Amino acid sequence: MGKDINLIDRPFSIGPLTVPNRLVRSATFEFAAENGRITQRHLDLWRQMAEGGCGLNITGKMAISAGAKIAPIMVECSYDGFVDDLKKASRVAKEKQSLLFVQLNHAGYKTSAQEGHDQLGVSTLEVAPDRVYHEATFAEIQKIAEDFARAAKRCQEAGIDGVQIHAAHGYLINTFLSPYYNHRTDSYGGSIKNRSRILFEVYEAVRGAVGPGYPVGLKMPMSDRVEPSITLEECVNVAQGLEKMGLDMIEISAGLTMDGGDSSFVPSAKEGSEGLFLKGASAVAKAVKIPVISVGGYRRPEFVEKALAETPVTAISICRPLIREPNLANRWKTDRSPATCLSCNKCFRSSGIITCQVDKK
């Protein structure tokens, strides 16, 4: 790779969109909603993201319905006024010539235990003493697909550039994909064709709602990091199937986030362990023509450049470094020193809005 070539700054396309560079702010939960509503704290953070220099920014996960969220601090896409509130974020992004996607999610086993929230999952599971989630029925699965579609349409109406379906990190769709959780004996269990059926139905419903020209992306796992797990071969198979249906982008991650250990999606990203899931993302990228984005502990711009130069992945996504240094992408244009994020995960203890907690007493 010649010294005059900066791969990070090269544009790429997601559907009809041109993304100005190869850095993506991966979706990161904001901890900022009030009773499921977008707040000024969200808007301030999204403005900060728009100014930070990443080619594409993805919001934290938003619940497709009131019953699909993990807590009142998670935005739900179904409340009255959601479109008008989200339009404010869209305007900010356009003012800063930035691209913004919304990540859509059903929390599955992680939904709130409060009354009015969905107490369902891929299979019956006691998630805590006296807290049993039932196996989702066919009718419930169809409603979930419809809720994803309605949520995507509302994002489109708000002027958001695209949406990302969240099928990773132990949320509902991921648990269908995973044989660790999926013990069904009907058409949604067993083979990967069956285990991925809900994902294909969700994508089909979303695409039907937003039309052929609106960017729809996906975040999915290459591995569950527990056994039994979805395999990389199965991940590739699903990616190829969705590409044929018109999917525009795939971000590859891993882990069911069951706890803070090896099943978590936030393992330590110490020196020498960058690109944690790059091998899987590369395998998917070799098998499809749509952009594949790799997430997983990226901290040094030279490693990002190396990944872009030596693998078929299209872009690199990061999140925790941008919590500590919101302007990191801009900084890397002149100062190529590593991100200062310590990978301590204290940011996930935030209250009110996600922020780096390292220097706070």
DSSP assignment of 13-29 equals EETTEEESSSEEE----
Tell me whether residue 260 is exposed, middle or buried, using C-beta atoms within 10 angstroms of its C-beta: 0 to 12, 13 to 18, 19 or more.
exposed
The per-residue pLDDT of the chain, averaged, comes to: 94
Tell me whether residue 208 is exposed, middle or buried, using C-beta atoms within 10 angstroms of its C-beta: 0 to 12, 13 to 18, 19 or more.
middle
Residue 298 amino acid letter: Y
Alpha carbons 344 and 93: distance in angstroms, whole number: 30
Residue 3: is its pLDDT beyond 60? Answer: no
Q: Return the DSSP state at 358.
A: T
pLDDT average, residue stretch 206-227: 96
Contact indicator for 57, 49 with CB cutoff of 8 Å? yes
Reported as half-sphere exposure (CB side, CA atoms, 13 A), residue 63 has a value of: 27
pLDDT average, residue stretch 317-342: 95
Q: Which CATH class is domain 7-349?
A: alpha beta
Nearest one of 142, 130, 135 to 181, comparing CA atoms: 135
Residue 73: is its pLDDT beyond 90? Answer: yes
Alpha carbons 167 and 196: distance in angstroms, whole number: 10
Contact indicator for 24, 308 with CB cutoff of 8 Å? no
How confident is the model at residue 270, as a pLDDT? Answer: 53
How confident is the model at residue 343, as a pLDDT? Answer: 84
Alpha carbons 313 and 300: distance in angstroms, whole number: 17
How confident is the model at residue 239, as a pLDDT? Answer: 98
Nearest one of 288, 286, 191 to 239, comparing CA atoms: 288
Residue % of the chain over a pLDDT of 70: 94
> Token pair of 1, please?
């790779």
Alpha carbons 141 and 125: distance in angstroms, whole number: 17
CA–CA distances in Å: residue 268 to residues 260, 264, 299, 326: 10, 10, 11, 20
Radius of gyration in angstroms for the set of CA atoms belonging to the chain, rounded to a whole number: 19
Residue 31: is its pLDDT beyond 60? Answer: yes
Residue 321 amino acid letter: P
Q: Model-level pTM?
A: 0.96
Alpha carbons 235 and 177: distance in angstroms, whole number: 9
Alpha carbons 151 and 135: distance in angstroms, whole number: 23
How confident is the model at residue 70, as a pLDDT? Answer: 95
Question: Does the active-site annotation cover 171?
Answer: yes
Residue 237 amino acid letter: N
Active-site hit among 109, 133, 171, 298? 171
Residues 93-113 have pLDDT tens digits of: 999 999 999 999 999 999 999
> Token pair of 154, please?
């509302």
Instruction: Of 146-150, 173-177, 224-228, give the lowest mean pLDDT range.
Output: 224-228
Close Cβ partners of 249 (under 8 Å, ≥ 6 residues apart): 14, 15, 162, 164, 215, 216, 217, 218, 290, 291, 292, 293
Residues 240-290 have pLDDT tens digits of: 999 999 999 999 999 998 765 665 555 555 555 799 999 999 999 999 999
